[in-house]
Amino acid sequence: MNNSDVIRRLRQQLQQLEQEVLQHDSRLPASQKKLMQDTERFNEQLFYQSGAQLGPCIMQISNSIAHLEKMLKGNISNGTIMLACEQIQDRFTAVKRALSTTDIDVKAAQQTKASRIAKAKKRRQQSHSDSGFDWIAAGVMHNSHQLYDELKKHHNWVLKFEQKIESLQSQLESCHSADKIALQNEILLVHRRLGKCRKAISYIEDRIQAFERPYKSYNR
């Protein structure tokens, strides 16, 4: 395959992907666009892009193909050209994966927003007053250490679930089409578990606050 054929095939591949992206972006509700406007969906080495819409990625891939075409006309080593081709293919793969995971990413953004609102509400409700009784504070910490241990354990689970979701999403790149639905369902299941774990964290934090409230009230 000569250089012209390489560029021609890449542009054909890009044209097909662009049509898929245009359809994807046109179906996005305004609420989802607003919800994910600051969400980074790609590694910064692949794209400079944020938000649910994938249109900006097409232009960046097009620029990469144009740059490759200039490289092919110059005195550039085969290794450098191969690397550039691999990077372009990585970008194609990343956009394909993003097309299939938008619903999952939206659900994750909704959970993150709900968690942020809940935490902000909780902060407004909490009373911050210094007791001045160090011995009472020490007693509270001593008796409630199990609650804090449980809180730490759930935070660790959140991290593991987030890492699991990232790993599963990366598997979609090489996943056979027949297995894709099952893999996406698994990702949704882990998202549900992540949501339950975050709710458990909020519950534990409420229990800690309720446990300590009598001591704070005593000092007011």
Residue bearing the bigger pLDDT, 87 or 196: 87
> Does residue 120 fall inside a structural domain?
no
> What is the C-alpha separation between 101 and 169, in angstroms, rounded?
8
Q: Residue 116 falls within a domain, yes or no?
A: no
Most confident of the ranges 62-71, 161-170, 178-187: 62-71
User: How much is the pLDDT for 212?
Assistant: 67
Angle at 123 between CA 141 and CA 209, to 5 degrees: 30
Whether residues 1 and 86 fall in one domain: yes
Better-predicted residue by pLDDT, 27 or 140: 27
Asked if residue 215 has pLDDT above 60, the reply is: no
Please report how many Cα atoms fall inside a 13 Å half-sphere around the Cα of residue 60, on the Cβ side.
19
Residue 217 pLDDT greater than 90, yes or no: no
In this structure, the answer to whether residues 210 and 145 fall within a common structural domain is: yes
Asked if residues 42 and 49 have their Cβ atoms less than 8 Å apart, the reply is yes
Does the predicted TM-score (pTM) go above 0.95? no
Domain-embedded: residue 109: no
How many independent structural domains does the chain possess? 2
Q: Is a pLDDT exceeding 50 seen at residue 127?
A: no
Distance CA 69, CA 85 (A): 10
Residues 216 and 134 both lie in one domain: yes
Distance in angstroms (rounded) separating the CA atoms of residues 164 and 179:
18
